[in-house]
Structure 1
Amino acid sequence: MGNLSIQEKFERELVKGSFLRGDPITGDRYYSREFAQKEWDHVFTRTWQIGGMAYQLEKPGSVITYEIGNESILMTRAEDGKIRAFYNVCPHRGNRLVAEEERCGTKRMVCAYHSWTFSLDGVVRHVRDAEDYPQGSPVGKMKLEEIRCDVLGGLVWFNMDPNARPLRESLGVVADHLDAYQTDKWVRVMWLTGKVDCNWKIIHDNFNEAYHVLSLHRELGTFIDDAYQNTDYDIYETGHNRMRMKGCLPSSSSRVGEVQAPLDAILRQWDLDPAAFNGRVREARAAIQQQKRKLGAERGQWQYEKLSDDQLTDYHHITVFPNISLTMSADGYQVLRPQPHPTDPEQCLFDHWFMVPVIDGVTEVATPLGTRKVEPAPHETFLHGDASLGFVADQDLSVAVAQQRGLHSRGYKDSYLTRQEDRVRRLHEVINDHIEGRR
């Protein structure tokens, strides 16, 4: 794509014309075990997923694991410096090989059952009684089952499909977006996983539209323009999509002419007087863009360098098919990911990460759970309702369980969607494409 801007690249990949077939979104898609199995077989085992942060595998001897469905994926950096991914299972008798979520400074992995020993490149290096195998010793010959693995945007990705397209090709312009934010230099300061009593698609449907914002997130209208007429909705051939909401200005539906919180604090942060924008509050966005461009470098905000003006203030909500949402802003971004439950389609595991750039002298940052230190966060896991998954995420989930129940009703036949919800219909149609062999 040469020297095209990110916006031009996005436009190149847009789906043109009338593309939605109108496939029904019936309730059984959210509770049928048969349909959940089809999703697993044709979608989740054939698409790229995020397994962890690249800095977790920064040095040889590092090991991380990630669970998805009934699988556990093992990722390592061996002495040769290469990052690899394997199914986390011993080929001897099927025992789970590595139990920890994260390990460093190790040279070998030992199965707890019979002590088969593997190097970090997955090869069997030692077994007891090697001479007793009638088919020959497995040492140096057998290895863990390796799967596709790549690193992009500071994230470690894996794909269980050996014939999958390369990661960057699969992500398309989403990869260019991550490049612009230079997310390979960011750190995860919040790492939450909540078990929620709803199907994974209920949460992901929510992230594919902003029609609910005025109902669930009304407070955002003081500094984000939530009007659909002023929001960009882009759908791509890859199955991914993007929504851009203008930030640092109030909703165009607001009749309040004065600067409100938290926009007043944002203006002061960039040496602008909030009172000067009373009566012309919609000019705040451009003024903040100019100040960020003018003052950003001297304040150490290196991540602004490759960003466009709209990326300095606006929220780019990118959904990566099938189930990853990236809410990008210039000073922090979220990974919002509902994963299918391994056995129950009416439950899911919801990951919420918050990432920030590492900037000299900045030791604390604001996050969806308040102020946190700029350092790798520990993993916090809990049942939905026992702790917060973030203020806005809690609002989203406040309707999830009731929707799961409602989808069982004979009174629900199909979603009746606005144009601004086209991305929801598109998600389900691409799922159907995978299941029915069109992708």
Structure 2
Amino acid sequence: MNASLSLAERTRQALVDGKEILRGDPISGDRYYSKEFMQQEWDHMWTRTWQVGAVEAQFPDAGCVVTHEIGRESILMVRDDEGRIRAFYNVCQHRGNRMVECEETKVRRLVCGYHSWCYGLNGDLLIAKDSEDFPQGNPVGKLNLKELCCETFGGLVWFNMDREAKPLRESLGIVADQLEAYEMDKMVRVMHLTCEVNCNWKVIQDNFNEAYHVKALHKELATHIDDDYQNTTFQIFNNGHSRMLMKGSLPSGGGKSKKVQAPLDDIMRGWGLDPQEFEGRVHEVRPALQKQKRALGEERGYAQYANLTDDQLSDYYHYTLFPNMSFTMAAESYQILRPQPHPTDPEKCLFDHWYFVRPAKGEKEAVTPLGMWPMEAAAHEVFMHGEKSMGFVADQDLSVAIAQQQGLHSRGYEDAYLAGQESRVRRYHEVINDYIAGRV
């Protein structure tokens, strides 16, 4: 792609016509519960796509280690002595024991707890007891931990099990340029939740590929987000990713209230605007708030505003990154919603909700989907669906997931009958099919 072109021009080049590209591949129920299909996804897709394994802030020093589970694999990420973050399969080359059995630690060397084989932070085997007693030769200098592709972008640590994978930035394409404007690396992960849900991971990811459900499940959002599909932009990129642009800081296109409602009223007050002054002209709030943020943002510590358009100061840019990550970008915060495959059961998944906030000057607390939380890196909470909240919007999304998983088994379901605004769902399944068929 020609880097001399403007971002808008390169974005247009990266877009595809959703109506023309869709083949109409059926979305049958068995792809949500078949163990055979689950294995095909693993063999041909999960092992060939970029995943986020950690936050770069978790690796301040050499020897900082974070592990991440995906499917039956455990991935070990570590900052080496030269300052590079690397990723390895979390398995000793001697007899297959897990090297690190906790989620986060700090070490001088990587030592297997079974026979004390010792590896350097670069994965090289340094010590093997009784090294002279190996008929096939001393393993030191011969063996090392199996390394994966590993890169950092946006303050996140990404890995790919395919050693021949395209570089991360090439895989993200124009999306990388668009995300850079938010300065994600300067945001703090203040919420780190994972719950196990009794549905296939695609049930959740389908949900994030459309906004058709918003008026039914998320009625509260209509007070400050325009959820009318005719006022929403849906875009499919030619690399399998997509995005949806929803206008914020104004009521739904069908809203009839003449008063500014919660939570938009509090947002306005926070920026020195009086909601009562906009009674009867609530549609003027959005440009007024954009103007106020532009005027006051820098002094409050939001240097990223200089990179953002006026629309990005008020609106929500939803990115669906193939295969399973949804980034919802706002001017001062963003969230990652990510369903991951269960290790063994296609009718279960592990659902992550990460929430990041850009600290303003003097801020010690952050507004999150679960209320006010400390402005600091959050501990990881893991629980079963229903035991705790994942945030009220995420809870609403999950409220239909199990019933849908059950319904997909029905003989009465053959294929999804999709609206135009749900084209990203169809395209998403077609890209999965492309991976399985070897077309990607």
Q: Which among 44, 47, 50 is matched to residue 48 of structure 1?
A: 50
Q: Which residue of 1 aligns with 2:320?
A: 319
Does residue 72 of the first structure (1) align with residue 68 of the second (2)?
no
1:141 positional shift: 2.6
Counterparts of residues 226-265 of structure 1 (less than 5 Å): 226-265=227-266
Shift of 1:5: 4.7
Give SS of 1:181's match: coil
Quote the Cα distance in structure 1 between the aligned partners of 2:105 and 2:336. 23
C-alpha spacing 1:218/1:7, structure 2 compared with 1 (3 Å): farther
2:197–2:385: 8 Å Cα contact kept in structure 1? Answer: yes
1:305 is aligned to 306
Please report how far the alpha carbon of residue 2 of structure 1 lies from its aligned counterpart in structure 2 after TM superposition: 3.3
Residue number in structure 1 paired with 2:154: 153
Post-superposition offset of 1:127: 1.3
Residues 24-423 of structure 1 aligned to structure 2 (within 5 Å): 24-104=26-106, 106-423=107-424
Give the aligned residue type for 1:204. Answer: Q
For 2:261 and 2:151, the matched residues in 1 are separated by 44
Task: Report the residue type matching 1:62 in the other structure.
Answer: C
CA deviation profile, 1:92-146 (whole Å, cap 9, x unmatched): 0001111111112x21111111111111100111111111111221123310000
Partner of 1:434: 435
Listed as ranges, the gaps of 5+ residues in structure 1 are: none
Q: CA deviation at 1:4?
A: 4.7
Larger mean Cα displacement after TM superposition, 23-32 or 294-303: 294-303
8 Å contact kept, 1:303–1:357: no
Distance change (3 Å), C-alpha of 1:358 and 1:4: farther
Q: CA deviation at 1:27?
A: 0.3
Per the TM alignment, residue 147 of structure 1 is displaced from its structure 2 partner at its CA by 0.8
2:77 partner amino acid: M
- Once the two structures are aligned, what percentage of the paired residues are identical? 62
Listed as ranges, the gaps of 5+ residues in structure 2 are none
Q: Distance in 1 between the 2:5 and 2:248 partners?
A: 24
In 2: Cα distance, 1:323 partner to 1:307 partner:
26
Q: How many residues align?
A: 438
Cα drift, residue 328 of structure 1: 0.6
1:276 offset after TM fit, Å?
A: 1.3
Report Cα offsets for 1:370-404 as digits up to 9, x if no partner: 11111110000000001111110000000000000
- Equivalent-residue separation in structure 2 for 1:100 and 1:304 (angstroms): 38
Question: TM (normalized to structure 2)?
Answer: 0.98
User: Offset of 1:11 from its aligned partner?
Assistant: 2.0
| Aligned mates of 2:9, 2:302 — CA distance in 1 | 25
Structure-2 separation of matches of 1:59 and 1:9 = 37
What RMSD over aligned residues (CA atoms) do the two structures have, in Å? 1.0
Matched residue SS, 1:389: coil
Query: Match of 1:84, as an amino acid?
Result: R
- Name the stretch that deviates more: 381-390 or 131-140: 131-140
1:356–1:164 CA distance, 2 compared to 1 (3 A): same
Tell me the secondary structure at the aligned position of residue 191 of structure 1: strand
Partners of 1:278 and 1:203 in 2: CA distance? 38
Structure 1's 4 and 226: CA in aligned 2 closer, same or farther, altered over 3 A?
farther
Q: CA deviation at 1:12?
A: 2.0
CA distance in 2, matches of 1:359, 1:56: 21
Q: CA deviation at 1:436?
A: 0.6
Hey, what's the Cα distance between the residues in 1 that align with 2:41 and 2:239?
A: 18
Deviation at 1:304, TM superposition (A): 1.3
TM-superposed deviation, 1:299: 1.4
In the aligned structure 2, how far is the partner of 1:154 from the partner of 1:8?
26
Q: Deviations over 1:227-260 (max 9, x none)?
A: 0000000000000000010000000111112111
Q: Report Cα offsets for 1:53-91 as digits up to 9, x if no partner.
A: 011122111111100000000111111111111100001
Matches of 1:309 and 1:172 in 2, distance apart? 23
Whole-angstrom CA distance in 2 between matches of 1:345 and 1:309: 43
137-146 or 197-206: bigger deviation: 137-146
Higher deviation after alignment, 125-134 or 230-239: 125-134
CA drift of 1:178 comes to: 2.1
